[in-house]
Structure 1
Amino acid sequence: MSPSPRKNQELSVTVTQLGARGDGLAVDDGGNRYYVPFSIPGETVRIRVGQKRGDGFATDLLAIESPSAERRDAPCPHFGRCGGCALQHVTDPAIADFKRQLVEKALARKGLTDLPFDTPMTTPPAARRRARLAILRLKGRSVVGFNERMGKMVLDLKQCPVLSPAIEKLIPVLRNLANDLPALGKGGDVQITEGDTGLEVVFAPTRNADLSLEERERLLAFAEAEDIARIAWESDGYLEPVAGRRAVRVSFAGVPVDLPVGSFLQPSRDGETHIAGLVRDGVGDAQRVADLYCGCGSLTFPVATLPHQPIVFAVDGLDSQIGALRRAAAGLRVTAGVRDLAKDPLSVQELNKFDAVVFDPPRAGAASQAETLAQSEVKRIVAVSCNPSTLARDLRILVDGGYVIDRVVPVDQFTWSAHVEAVAILRRA
Structure 2
Amino acid sequence: MTRPTKRPLPKRRPQPTAEPRTLEATVTEVGARGDGIASVGGLRLFVPLTVPGDRVRVRVRDSGGEPKGEGLRAELLEILEPGPGRGTPPCAHFGTCGGCTLQHMDDAAYAAWKVGLVRGALARVGLGDAPMAPLSRTPPAARRRARFAALKRGRRVWFGFNERQSHRLADLEDCPVLLPRLAALIEPLRALLLDVLPDGGGCDVIATDLEGGIDLVLVGPRSLDRAARERLVAFNEAAVARISWQADDRGSPEPIAHRRPVAVRFAGHPVTPPPGAFLQASAEGEAALVAAVLETVGEARRVADLFAGLGTFAVPLAQRSAVHAVEGDSPALAALAKEVGGLRLTTERRDLFENPLTAKELARFDAVVFDPPRAGAAAQAQALAGSKVPLVVGVSCNPATFARDARTLVDGGYALERVHPVDQFLWSAHVELVGVFKR
> What whole-Å deviation, never above 9, does each CA across 1:131-181 have from its counterpart, x for those lacking one?
001100111111110011122111110111011101100011110101111
Question: Given the two structures, how large is their TM-score scaled by the length of structure 1?
Answer: 0.94
Aligned to 1:10: 22
* 1:346 maps to 2:325: no
Aligned to 1:380: 391
Shift of 1:183: 6.2
Aligned to 1:401: 412
**Alignment match of 1:48 (pick from 59, 66, 75):** 59
* 1:156 maps to 2:156: no
- Residues 197, 250 of structure 1: 8 Å contact kept: no
| SS of structure 2 residue aligned to 1:116 | coil
Aligned-partner Cα distance in 2 for 1:272–1:92: 21
Aligned to 1:260: 274
| SS of structure 2 residue aligned to 1:180 | helix
Shift of 1:407: 0.6
Q: Which moved more, 1:64-73 or 1:121-130?
A: 64-73
* 1:285 maps to 2:299: yes
Q: Which amino acid aligns with 2:428?
A: S
Q: Which amino acid aligns with 1:189?
A: D
| Counterparts of residues 192-341 of structure 1 (less than 5 Å) | 192-205=207-220, 209-224=222-237, 226-236=238-248, 237-305=251-319, 309-341=320-352
Aligned to 1:176: 191
> What whole-Å deviation, never above 9, does each CA across 1:74-112 have from its counterpart, x for those lacking one?
111111111111110111221111111111111121222
| Counterparts of residues 360-371 of structure 1 (less than 5 Å) | 360-371=371-382
| SS of structure 1 residue aligned to 2:170 | coil
Aligned to 2:429: 418
Shift of 1:53: 5.7
> What whole-Å deviation, never above 9, does each CA across 1:173-201 have from its counterpart, x for those lacking one?
11010111136961021111111221111
Percent of aligned positions with the same letter in both sequences? 50
Shift of 1:212: 1.6
> What whole-Å deviation, never above 9, does each CA across 1:303-349 have from its counterpart, x for those lacking one?
112xxx21000010122111111222210111111111101111111
| Counterparts of residues 48-87 of structure 1 (less than 5 Å) | 48-50=59-61, 54-87=69-102
Shift of 1:119: 2.0
Q: CA RMSD in A?
A: 1.5
Shift of 1:68: 2.0
Aligned-partner Cα distance in 2 for 1:381–1:342: 18
Q: Which amino acid aligns with 1:76?
A: C
* Aligned residue pair count: 416
Shift of 1:213: 1.8
Aligned-partner Cα distance in 1 for 2:347–2:281: 24
Aligned-partner Cα distance in 2 for 1:288–1:170: 44
Aligned-partner Cα distance in 2 for 1:316–1:215: 35
Question: Given the two structures, how large is their TM-score scaled by the length of structure 2?
Answer: 0.92
Q: 5+ unaligned residues in a row in structure 1: which ranges?
A: 1-5
Aligned to 1:98: 113
Q: Which amino acid aligns with 1:11?
A: L
Q: Which amino acid aligns with 2:100?
A: C
Q: Which amino acid aligns with 2:267?
A: A
Shift of 1:398: 0.4
Q: Which amino acid aligns with 1:324?
A: A
**Alignment match of 1:186 (pick from 197, 201, 204):** 201
Shift of 1:262: 1.5
- Residues 152, 198 of structure 2: 8 Å contact kept: no
Change in 2 beyond 3 A, CA 1:261/1:185? farther
Q: 5+ unaligned residues in a row in structure 2: which ranges?
A: 1-17
Change in 2 beyond 3 A, CA 1:7/1:398? farther
Q: Which moved more, 1:43-52 or 1:96-105?
A: 43-52
- Residues 282, 381 of structure 1: 8 Å contact kept: no
Shift of 1:223: 4.2
Shift of 1:15: 0.8
* 1:112 maps to 2:127: yes
| SS of structure 1 residue aligned to 2:364 | coil
Show structure 1 runs of 4+ deviating over 4 A: none
